[in-house]
Structure 1
Amino acid sequence: MCEEHQAGVGRRAVFLTGAAAAFTLGSVSFASAAEGGRSQSRTVRGTLPTGSPDFVYVPVEVPHGVREIKVAYTYDRPQVPAGTAGNALDIGVFDERGTGLGGEGFRGWSGGARTEFFLRADEATPGYVPGPVRAGTWHIALGPYTVAPQGLAYEITVTLTFGEPGRTPRPVYPPERAKGRGRAWYRGDCHLHSWHSDGRRTPAEIAALARAAGLDFVNSSDHNTSSAHAHWAEAAKDLLVLLGEEVTTRNGHVVALGTDPGTFVDWRYRARDNRFGRFARQIRRAGGLVVPAHPHATCIGCNWKFGFGEADAVEVWNGPWTPDDEVALADWDGMLVASVRQGRDWIPAMGSSDAHRDPDVVGLPQTVVLADDLSRRAIQDGIRAGRAYVAESADVSVAFSASGPRGEHAGIGERLRVPDDSPVTVRTEVTGAPGCTVRLVTDQGVLHTSAPLPAGGAGVVEWRTTPAYAAYVRAEVRHPAAAGPLPGSLAAFTNPVFLGRR
């Protein structure tokens, strides 16, 4: 049996939920199993105008005895003028616990990656969380990412199947420690997408690619869902798998890195709502790091607007090197200068692949972390302290340090505590970067550029300075410039070594 309903959002039919603008439509109801049979469907049609709220909720009244809920949707994609955004409509679902900010009722999100999903006690579509379909008011969440000038016409079909609910499996999560090498440099990729969001790879396929790339650890970071967490245990084996989420708001994305298993972080707010601090604190309470992702990316909603006051690190390099990474690097360097000037803590840099599907390369780039062992806490401690550099592959290694006249020594992320007038020797040792140059960058800018490394790709570069002349030094390993005034793309870069007693 199928019934149809009409629904729409008027231009003024908007209210605020305490976060991003949202609107709730009229509810969709179903008969009981005795009245309507084993399976029932309802179809809802409507149109969203340009300037619609960030989220539109379709209430679904679910009766007792439902085994499975299935949702399928379509929307139109009319032609639009050049330079004008067309239609894009995301989707997810909240159960009878409601849609309140914080996500207590969250049961799944697939964004624009799927046209249908289901969930029941024993299984769910990737991106969605298995569990009983309890009676009450559920809400289909629509996210009109962009709306064409003609509006966005949509159709949603909800199907309820009645029957015994089945049993929800107890989740099994990957261990928080893997076999390591004691205190050593460990390579990882902390921004990856599986088929639990808009990726096309399973956790097992990602793990295999990570091993092939020479990685020691990865972080699960699907968009706006934690559903993948319970699917990484078998793939882990000798690989350390951290669990997290890419929290994808309308004003930027942030990677929750290494949270407790099953942690869900809400994304339904903008910078103007002044809500981000609440969720940054939630990430930390769950044992994770707050890492703004691709802060200068050019996709709609990707540019970071929340500031960096809550950041534990920042993703300076995202995927293959592009101009927005160059801007992110320069911006981060400006933050280093500000931290020196103001005498406050600095924000370490890292890099990740953001790989989704072929031909995206897992481990391009990768963050190389000095950690006491291969464990969740040790890796996080290394990232938080800035004991890390970023490389384009496992072929590239960088050893970077500064030493004083009396044997004082400091490595990446550390401070060389010597008087301002003390001579300091900065040493950079590189392998796996044939033809690249080494640039030493300080709070004044680039103060030394080496000759190209030989065909073997290995070389040592030394430079001398004082803390009075350079408040910090960091290294960049650059490929030859293709053309124009811009430097070549990065093969690697380090977090800084700070100089002086301050």
Structure 2
Amino acid sequence: MTENGSGSIGRRGLIVTGAATALTLGTVSFASAAPSGGAAGGRPDETRTVRGTLPAGSPDFVYLPVEVPHGVRELAVSYAYEKTPVPVGTQGNALDIGIFDERGTALGGAGFRGWSGGARSAFFIRADDATPGYLRGPVRAGTWHIALGPYTVAPQGLPYTVTVTLKYGEPGTTPAPVYPPVRARGRGRAWYRGDCHLHSVHSDGGRTPAEIAALARAAGLDFINTSEHNTTSGHRAWQGLWGDDLLIMTGEEITTRNGHVVALGTEPGHFVDWRYRARDNRFGHFAREARAAGGLVVPAHPHATCVGCGWKFGFGDADAVEVWNGPYTPDDEVTLQEWDNSLAVAARSGRPWLPAMGNSDAHRDPDRVGGPQTVVLAEELSRAAIQAGLKAGRSYVAESAAVSLSFSVSGGHGQHAGIGERLKAGADEPVTARLEVTGAPGCSVAFVTDQGTLYTAQLPASGTGTAQWETTPSYATYIRAAVRHAPVTPGLPGPLTAFTNPVFLVAS
């Protein structure tokens, strides 16, 4: 690695730290510091530039310390790197960026001040404002750390340039954030539709919060959850966008090198760290932290094929799993089958089962907000009630608000169980599964058990119809319903239109 700059920059200091492998470079210093406690008004901006090359096999995070003197009003950073040509099949260069303030880089995030990944080439922070993805607040004196994340590095290395500018003056004041309320009026106990995986300009999305709120309403949603990559900056950006008809929950997409997880409904402003891999044995700690902050832990797109997206942490610390992510693709089918297998294991072992969700992961046009969406039975339209319904599996997933399902299983002695519940019946007592569907023209319905799909039927041309099937607890451990479009590839199932969480059959 090499470094040089326009100011006095010492040689790189090698420090391997923390859970995820990290490297600390030499410190960037600004020689003309203001007097201690001084305002430094009228002083010219100061800029330093660092250049270097990260080799293949670099640590996950490279920290560039910056000595910030007193009297700084604004800190601005820009960076660039070379996208070196690589052979076909070889990963090229990709470099993420973020920053930690004078409180340090220790895991847990006390010093966290922002992250934009690879979505931006520049950012600023000052007391009254900051670039989306970054937290506004005073630029206090001390050692700040620019965090570089070499996501992938070409065999030839990753040449980079980082430029830091300090602007002096009165620090200004930081407005108090206004966060979304935890409850909306709603309809009392009802089925509510939501999308809990969305991105705005506060991470790598192209839409503003206002645009997302409008699209959520147009999609027939009752609730959404903000889930920016590795930042909470967007939590304060929804003022005036909620209402009696739309509950806005705050969260984070914790984006590690071994998979992504949605922290769903955490307390506004609560940051959950992402700087670890499965080998570091830290995920359980941060999953518990997300829950302590009022959130649910939902692994996202577990079999996505993007680098770092595949889920490697296991599901023991999860509250639900995102089975369907955006337009239905083969990796969603793999996740669906893996989840279905887990239902049989849970039923056999008596361990808790993992409910399924579906979310859009919408970033920008033409991504469709609410496609798919999770429809949850909740006592009211509040964060706590929605989370309770999701965690209990009282939900189904639909491709849009046009699709509605009603699914239940009943026994011959008046027993009845809905989605996510258990039905007790004699081992050989007949039980009847019933599914009502609207809004699914050209689709078929199926009942799926631990043996696989045991019943299928074509819906009427209108897309509205009812299916009924009889079995016994000795023959089926659980029953769930699925609605699919016609197959696109011969021999493979068609894309999902909707599916339910299961009803478990318990032999009495």
Task: Tell me, in whole angstroms, the C-alpha distance in 1 between the residues paired with 2:10 and 2:478.
Answer: 60
Q: CA RMSD in A?
A: 1.4
Contact 1:243 1:258 in 2 (8 A): yes
Q: 1:14 to 1:164 in 2, by over 3 A?
A: closer
Of 460, 463, 466 in structure 1, the residue corresponding to residue 472 of structure 2 is 466
2:300 paired residue among 293, 301, 322: 293
* Partner Cα separation in structure 2 for residue 60 and residue 331 of structure 1: 46
Moved more, 203-212 or 27-36: 27-36
Kindly indicate whether the alpha-carbon contact (under 8 Å) linking 2:9 and 2:27 is maintained by their aligned counterparts in 1: no
* Residue 388 of structure 1: how far off its partner (Å): 0.2
Counterpart position of 1:279: 286
Classify 1:466/1:77 alpha carbon distance in 2 versus 1 (closer, same or farther; 3 Å): same
2:134 to 128, 134, 142: 128
* Residue-by-residue CA offset, 1:257-278 (whole Å, 9 max, x unaligned): 0001101000000000000011
CA contact (8 A) 1:218 1:241 kept: yes
What is the aligned partner in structure 2 of residue 76 from structure 1? 82
C-alpha separation between the residues in 1 aligned to 2:54 and 2:8?
15
| 8 Å Cα contact 2:299/2:318 also seen in 1 | yes
Deviation at 1:38, TM superposition (A): 2.6
Contact 1:416 1:497 in 2 (8 A): yes
Asked if the contact 2:16–2:24 (Cα under 8 Å) also holds between the matched residues in 1, the reply is no
Contact 2:90 2:154 in 1 (8 A): yes
Which residue among 242, 250, 258 is the counterpart of 2:249? Answer: 242
Judge conservation of contact 2:78–2:162 (CA < 8 Å) in 1.
Answer: yes
The equivalences for 1:56-455 within 5 A come to 56-237=62-243, 238-450=245-457, 452-455=458-461
Q: Deviations over 1:218-263 (max 9, x none)?
A: 0000000000001112111231001000000000000000001101
State the Cα distance separating 1:340 from its structure 2 match. Answer: 1.1
Identity %: 71
Instruction: Look up the SS of the partner of 1:500 in the other structure.
Output: strand
- Matched residue of 2:138: which SS? coil
Contact kept, 8 Å, 1:5 with 1:45, in 2: the verdict is no
Shift of 1:187: 0.2
Q: What SS is found at the alignment partner of 1:204?
A: helix
CA deviation after TM superposition for structure 1 residue 483, in Å: 2.4
Using the TM superposition, give the Cα deviation of residue 179 of structure 1 relative to its aligned residue in structure 2, in angstroms.
1.5
Q: Is the 8 A contact 2:179 2:239 kept in 1?
A: yes
Deviates more, 1:129-138 or 1:481-490: 481-490
State the partner residue of 1:32. 33
Q: What's the counterpart of residue 20 of structure 1?
A: 20
Q: Which runs of 5+ in 2 are unaligned?
A: none
Native 8 Å contact 1:369 1:379 kept in 2:
yes
Deviates more, 1:15-24 or 1:356-365: 15-24
1:477 aligned residue:
483
1:72-102 deviation digits (Å, cap 9, x = unpaired): 0000011100010000000000000000001
Q: Could you say what secondary structure the match of 1:341 adopts? A: helix
Kept after mapping to 2: 8 A contact 1:242/1:376: yes
* CA distance in 2: counterparts of 1:334 and 1:7, whole angstroms: 56
- SS state of the match for residue 65, structure 2? strand
TM norm structure 2: 0.96
CA contact (8 A) 1:8 1:47 kept: no
- Find the aligned partners of 1:476 and 1:250 in 2 and give their Cα distance: 33
**AA of the residue aligned to 2:387:** Q
Whole-angstrom distance in 1 between the partners of 2:194 and 2:11: 46
Amino acid at match of 1:312: D
416-425 or 158-167: which moved more?
416-425
Deviation at 1:3, TM superposition (A): 2.1
Mapped contact 1:6–1:45 kept (Cα < 8 A)? no
Q: Distance in 1 between matches of 2:106 and 2:315?
A: 26
What is the CA deviation profile of residues 418-463 of structure 1, one whole-angstrom value per residue up to 9, with x for unaligned ones?
121111000000000011111110001001011x212211000000
Report SS of the residue matched to 1:104: coil
- CA positional deviation for 1:15: 5.0
**1:46 maps onto 2:49 in alignment:** no
TM-score between the two structures when normalised by the length of structure 1: 0.97
> In the TM superposition, what is the alpha-carbon distance from 1:14 to its structure 2 partner?
6.2
Distance 1:189 1:38, change over 3 A: same
Q: Does structure 1 retain, via aligned residues, the 8 Å contact 2:9–2:26?
A: no
Partner amino acid, structure 2, of 1:360: D
Q: Which amino acid aligns with 2:496?
A: L
Q: Is the 8 A contact 1:251 1:303 kept in 2?
A: yes
> For 1:367-403, what per-residue CA distance to the aligned partner results, in whole angstroms no more than 9, with x for missing partners?
0000001000000000000000000000000100000
Which letter does structure 2 place at the counterpart of 1:205? E
2:127–2:173 contact (8 Å) kept in structure 1: yes
**Aligned residues of 1:69 and 1:158 also touching (Cα < 8 A):** yes
Determine the structure 1 residue equivalent to 2:500: 494
Task: Note if contact 1:69-1:119 (Cα within 8 Å) is conserved in structure 2.
Answer: yes
| Aligned AA (1:109) | W
Contact 1:18 1:273 in 2 (8 A): no
